[in-house]
Amino acid sequence: MAVLDELKEELAKACRIIGRLHLTREPNGHVSVRVPGSDLVLVKARGPDEAPLSYTTASDLAVIDMDGNLVEGRDGLARPAEVFIHTEVLRARPELNSVIHIHPPNIVAYTIANKPILPIVGAYNPAVLRMVDAGIPTYPRSILINSKERGGNLTSAMGTARICLMRAHGITSAGATVEEATLNVIHLNDLAELQFKADLLGGAVPISEDDKRDILDRLPADVRQPGDKPRVPSSEWRYYSEAYG
């Protein structure tokens, strides 16, 4: 019970950070995390009494099973229609524990224009350089992921990536922790905003291959497995927690 209570607080905090950074159209979007030792998932609920992400508390969350069925949740709340984004990614990726689906306007604009997000920064943000260098796949349809089949199709498009664009719709981000999944979104949104500004100034130009390798070859391996001990929260995460959580 104590572990579940901690997960609820962490998940609610991630929702507030996403909302207060204006990373999605309120109240659209949901964050989830596995419940350890079970086949259950904790997720931001939707429904007539749902809270905006910016004001999410532990009472605004629901527990679902891996088939997307509501197991626990207060009256006035329901599972998200796109719950299958969460269940199918988590089913296919045992190394991941948290999934986010939101609609960041900066990023959605690039999918509408069919324009790639480029590796335009190096030391400015090595984490996002690694993300872009690894390749960011796109799910090509602008539809609700409201069935197990569609969730499986999205998961296939995502492959082994930690983030997937969804054309004219939004993004799906995943991580070993709620922190990782949330920071993925923040980093990619920041990069999209920088690229948009650079294009207005005459054109965004990727960094050189030499500089890219100089940065990426110095980064520690980022391979985590099921059962690995959680990392200590990063200073970056502590900042967002204090400033926006």
Measured between alpha carbons, how far is 40 from 42 in angstroms, rounded to an integer?
Answer: 7
Residue 143 DSSP SS3: coil
211 is written with which tokens? 């500089």
Predicted local confidence at residue 4, as pLDDT: 86
Q: Tell me the angle at which helices 178-200 and 235-244 cross, rounded to the nearest 10 degrees.
A: 80
Gap between the Cα atoms of 174 and 32, Å rounded = 9
Instruction: Give residue 233's pLDDT.
Output: 74
pLDDT tens digits for the chain (245 residues)? 678 899 999 999 999 999 999 999 888 899 999 999 999 999 999 988 889 999 999 999 999 999 999 998 888 999 999 999 999 999 999 999 999 999 999 999 999 999 999 999 999 999 999 999 999 999 999 999 999 999 999 999 999 999 999 999 999 999 999 999 999 999 999 999 999 999 999 999 999 999 999 999 988 866 444 444 556 678 999 999 999 98
Burial class (CB in 10 A: 0-12, 13-18, 19+), 215: buried
Query: How do the domains of the chain map onto residue ranges?
Result: 2-224
Q: Which helix (H) or strand (E) holds 32?
A: strand 30-34
Q: 45 phi and psi, to 5 degrees?
A: -85, 160
Cα–Cα distance for residue pair 121/4, rounded to 1 Å: 38
pLDDT at 230: 55
H/E element, 16: helix 2-20
pLDDT of res. 225: 46
- In sequence order, what are the residues at sequence separation of 6 or more whose Cβ sits closer than 8 angstroms to the Cβ of residue 89? 96, 99, 151, 154, 155, 158, 172, 174
Q: Which of 10, 82, 179, 180 is catalytic?
A: 82
Q: What is the pLDDT of residue 3?
A: 82
pLDDT at res. 47: 87
Question: Is CATH 3.90.45.10 the classification given to domain 2-224?
Answer: no
Return the half-sphere exposure (C-beta side, CA atoms, 13 A cut-off) of residue 180: 20
Question: Of 86, 70, 67, 66, which Cα lies nearest the Cα of 145?
Answer: 86
**Side chain identity at 166, as an amino acid letter?**
M
Chain centroid offset of residue 13 CA? 14
pTM of the model: 0.93
Is 82 tagged catalytic?
yes
